A = this chain, B = another copy of it.
């Protein structure tokens, strides 16, 4: 199992229609083959300045690569992520043991 997460903040004002639309449209990522346990999250720690997070799991590296290369993911990154996201950090986890 690989858990792919990204914590981010948007360029849009908090609570704006543009923010809501970005988050709503991002649900398309959940339907890309290989994506499991897709979650949209609100980041609430005052110890960093990110506002949101996405988390998803893949069975293995092949499934993760298939997602990365999928045209729907490539288009989302190009058309929405890059223009609308101010700052982000990708963190990927596998079980320790």
Contact = CB atoms under 8 A, between A and B. Distances in A.
Size class of A's contact patch? 20 to 34
B93 A42 contact: yes
A16 interface: no
A32 interface: no
A96 B7 contact: no
Contacts of A94: 41-42, 44
In the A-B complex, list the 7 residue pairs whose CB atoms are closest, starting with the nearest. A45-B92, A41-B93, A40-B96, A47-B90, A44-B92, A42-B94, A42-B96
7 contacts: A41-B93, A43-B91, A43-B93, A44-B94, A45-B92, A48-B90, A89-B89
